[in-house]
Structure 1
Amino acid sequence: MAIYREKDVFERRNAAHEAKKALLERFRAKPAADDPAVLARQAERKAILEARAIREAEKARLKQEKLAREAAEKAEREAAEEAARAEAKIREAEENERIARLLADEAERKAKRDARYAARKQRTGRTPPGFSAR
């Protein structure tokens, strides 16, 4: 069985020094800007950005089309509702006119009946209380 041995200060310092050296070497080994691999990566990134821009433009166009379609549908719905309201208004006016004619006819019949009743009472010579004969 292995015995765990804690590292002392010098070992930790040397390990940190080696890690910093490795990091510095990796930074120094970075390829130049005119390296073909770097140029290829830049071209790939540029192609990705262009594709993204095309997708976003297409998405915006589709969104505008959808908004236009929804606006047209809303306008169509509102026109249909307006037509329905106008038709309902016409039906209501016709119904009110019919009711007014019925009430006028009823009032005319009542007036004729009252006139007959008054004429009959006048022939008999008696006027009921609260009723004035003409």
Structure 2
Amino acid sequence: MTVVDDEIPAVANLDHDLLGALRQAATDAADDGVEIFVDSGWRSPEYQEQLLREALAKYGSQEEAARWVATPDTSAHVSGHAIDIGPSDATAWLSKHGAEYGLCQIYSNEPWHYELRPEAVDHGCPPMYADPTHDPRMQP
């Protein structure tokens, strides 16, 4: 799905400020010949729960699954505050330029996952967490 398609719920239900930063970044990336696609944006709690069940089946434990998929109660995707982008040239572009828009990679193990950190425009992105299990927001 493209960044600008407001008819897609995964994009239309994103936080307004996140969507604005993403649109600006996508426009500038396009000027550099890079297309940014939203692979996943807003998710319903039900879909997030399905992803968590699939991660449990794939990884075999709650601890390992938590390194990759948050619960519906803690997921920044469910609240509309996170995007997963692709392809790899887009993640590379955002890795280099994202802070200019307040778009920051949050987890070292997920180069596709970005969230809005407005203070990054002036101060750069904060240090990344190794994975979601190190993020205080993900703690019960």
- Kindly indicate which of the two structures has a greater share of residues assigned to helix: 1
- Kindly indicate which of the two structures has a greater share of residues assigned to strand: 2
TM-score scaled by length of structure 1? 0.15
**Which structure is higher in RCO with an 8 Å CA cutoff and minimum separation 6?**
2
Q: Kindly name which structure, 1 or 2, has the bigger radius of gyration based on alpha carbons.
A: 1
TM-score scaled by length of structure 2? 0.14
